[in-house]
């Protein structure tokens, strides 16, 4: 396995791989967990060469966000990558990606990027789109792997790839969870013991929402209100948003029919966590018929 830190070297490596050989990219901010490893394993199964990028992208963090304290653990990420049969870990420095006079950004317009995470984290998706376009241009992956945990990110990436006519195919994998349902996340490492326990309230709320819908509740306002009541019972939790939205447009739905996404962002102490659940209303086996993008 190679560790590459320079863009020019990464490009040289890529140039030597010719079709029909394929390249898969797993873009990450490092501090690997099982969610990252599942993406890497899928890429390993599907592609001839697997590149994992590790870069904590400052421009997707807002003021007061956790950029400085975001967990960084490159040596362990390298070890894990090696174990999983990754071909290249691409870990550029900040200066390599954004030199002093850097000034080009990808602005994602439209309602997809202004709702949910876009509304709460101003400029977040501009940062995400910019770094991903840079990575796609440097690595030219045939396939790129993303987690459903960041559902809105996936929709936006797909739109950007489509609208900017890029050639990479976006592959999306389901959210990996801890035994108690908490979605695994690099940010879970911020949680102390009590907060970790309190954090299960996100999954609990999603699970209960599914149950209410299964039992026949079709009013999204009632679902959101009951979810908020449940979350508020946890003293450490502070709700940012809870929403029942259309799977493709992320607009709030008036009525729960067919496929919907339930998304939420909740602060547990100082740690902001997100989660979501995709479901199909009106199916008798809601759990089994969960939709995947
Ligand atoms: P990050 O390092 O947090 O930027 O995440 C890198 C990739 O891993 C993104 O595509 C995330 O959606 C994905 N990811 C993060 N957490 C999970 C999870 N619990 N299950 C599946 N994928 C995840």
The residue to mutate among 27, 31, 37, 39, having the most atoms of ligand 1 within 8 angstroms of its beta carbon, is 39
- CB count in 10 Å sphere of residue 106: 16
Nearest-atom index, ligand 1, CA of 184? 19
Nearest-atom index, ligand 1, CA of 146? 10
d(CA 132, CA 111): 20
pLDDT band at 286 (very low <50, low <70, confident <90, very high): very low
Q: What is the pTM of this model?
A: 0.95
- Residue 58 in this model has a pLDDT that exceeds 50: yes
Q: What is the pLDDT of residues 124-141, one digit of tens each?
A: 999 999 999 999 999 999
Residues carrying an active site annotation: 36
What is the distance in A from the centroid of ligand 1 to the CA of 53? 12
Q: What is the pLDDT of residues 220-263, one digit of tens each?
A: 999 999 999 999 999 999 999 999 999 999 999 999 988 999 99
d(CA 233, CA 66): 26
**How many helices (H) and strands (E) are present in the chain, helices listed first?**
10, 9
CB 29 within 8 A of CB 65: no
What is the distance in A from the centroid of ligand 1 to the CA of 68? 19
Q: Is residue 88 in contact with ligand 1, taking CB distance under 6 Å?
A: no
What is the distance in A from the centroid of ligand 1 to the CA of 165? 24
Q: Is residue 176 in contact with ligand 1, taking CB distance under 6 Å?
A: yes
Q: Is residue 184 in contact with ligand 1, taking CB distance under 6 Å?
A: yes
Is beta strand 88-90 parallel, antiparallel or unpaired with respect to 271-280? Answer: unpaired
Atom 11 of ligand 1: nearest residue by CA position: 147
Q: Is residue 263 in contact with ligand 1, taking CB distance under 6 Å?
A: no
What percentage of the chain carries pLDDT values higher than 90? Answer: 93
- Residue 284 in this model has a pLDDT that exceeds 50: no
What is the distance in A from the centroid of ligand 1 to the CA of 189? 14
What is the distance in A from the centroid of ligand 1 to the CA of 23? 19
Q: Is residue 49 in contact with ligand 1, taking CB distance under 6 Å?
A: no
d(CA 22, CA 273): 34
Dihedrals φ, ψ of 215, to 5°? -80, -5
């Amino acid at each position: 396995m190679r560790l590459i830190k320079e863009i020019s070297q990464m490009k040289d490596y890529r140039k030597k791989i010719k079709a029909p050989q394929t390249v898969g990219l797993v873009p990450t901010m490092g501090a690997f967990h099982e969610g990252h490893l599942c993406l890497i394993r899928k890429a390993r199964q599907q592609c001839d060469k697997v590149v994992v990028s590790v870069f904590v992208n400052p421009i997707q963090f807002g003021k007061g966000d956790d950029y400085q304290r975001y967990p960084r653990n490159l040596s362990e990420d390298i070890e894990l990558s090696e174990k999983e049969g990754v071909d290249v870990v691409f870990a550029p420095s900040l200066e390599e990606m954004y030199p002093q006079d850097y000034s080009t950004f990808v602005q994602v317009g439209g309602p997809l990027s202004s709702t949910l995470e876009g509304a709460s984290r101003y400029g977040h998706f501009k940062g995400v789109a910019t770094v991903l376009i840079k990575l796609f241009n440097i690595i030219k992956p045939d396939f790129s792997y993303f987690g459903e945990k960041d559902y809105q990110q996936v929709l936006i990436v797909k739109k950007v790839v489509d609208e900017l006519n890029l050639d990479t195919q976006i592959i999306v994998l389901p959210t990996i969870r801890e035994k108690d349902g908490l979605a695994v996340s690099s940010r879970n490492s911020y949680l102390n013991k009590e907060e970790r326990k309190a954090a299960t309230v996100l999954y609990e709320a999603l699970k209960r929402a599914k149950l209410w819908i299964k039992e026949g509740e079709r009013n999204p306002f009632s679902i959101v209100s009951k979810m908020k009541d449940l979350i508020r019972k946890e003293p450490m939790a502070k709700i940012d948003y809870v929403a029942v939205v259309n799977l493709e447009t992320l607009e709030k739905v008036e009525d729960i029919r067919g496929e919907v996404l339930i998304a939420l962002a909740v602060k547990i102490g100082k740690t902001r966590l997100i989660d979501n659940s995709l479901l199909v209303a009106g199916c008798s086996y809601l759990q089994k018929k969960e939709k995947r993008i």
